[in-house]
Amino acid sequence: MNEVDYKLLVEQVQAFADTENDFVPLFSNVSALLYEALEDLNWAGFYLLDKGSLLLGPFQGKTACIRIQPGRGVCGTALVKDEVLRVANVHEFPGHIACDCASESEIVVPLHCGGEVVGVLDIDSPRQDRFSEEDEEGLRAVARRLEAVTDFSRLRLY
């Protein structure tokens, strides 16, 4: 499998944000960027807090479920625990929400604004155990840069 240049991805996130940092265009381009840069994906995108639950945000891949309650699925669990969840086999994750039955593994990285968790980056693969420790570190770096540069002011958190 090709090595992903996560340092370059972080720089590209910064370049997008230098043009426009509203979360809709920024996360749209970042989901497209990740979907192209990482091999063997079937979904890459964002769920963001809206009136107390996770609302589908910009993404690439097949149509997906629109709202996820806190604590539900991998995304809702990562949100509540405020932890990165790297799931090697989604069929073994209790309560996993299968938007695409092709999904076999998944990584979810929480996103923060002002120290509070406000959403997640969610990436799915049709290959079991697709995401390595290096991918986790790289995607954490992408998320940290996004948190630093994004204008979240249009979110409706409560």
Q: Check binding of 99 to ligand SME (CB under 6 A).
A: yes
Q: Which is nearer to ligand SME, 17 or 44 (CB)?
A: 44
Q: Please, are residues 121 and 127 in contact by the beta-carbon 8 Å criterion?
A: no
Q: Please, are residues 130 and 103 in contact by the beta-carbon 8 Å criterion?
A: no
Q: Which residue among 46, 60, 106, 119 contacts ligand SME (CB under 6 A)? A: 106
Cα–Cα distance, 50 to 138 (Å, whole number): 27
Q: Check binding of 104 to ligand SME (CB under 6 A).
A: no
* Burial label, 102 (beta-carbon count in 10 A; 0-12, 13-18, 19+): middle
Q: Which is nearer to ligand SME, 17 or 23 (CB)?
A: 23
Binding residues for ligand SME restricted to 79-98, rule: CB under 6 A: 96-97
Number of residues interacting with ligand SME: please give it, by CB under 6 A.
15
Q: Please, are residues 140 and 9 in contact by the beta-carbon 8 Å criterion?
A: no
Q: Check binding of 107 to ligand SME (CB under 6 A).
A: no
Cα–Cα distance, 97 to 94 (Å, whole number): 9
Instruction: List residues near ligand SME by CB under 6 A.
Output: 43, 64-65, 68, 73-76, 96-97, 99, 103, 106, 122, 124
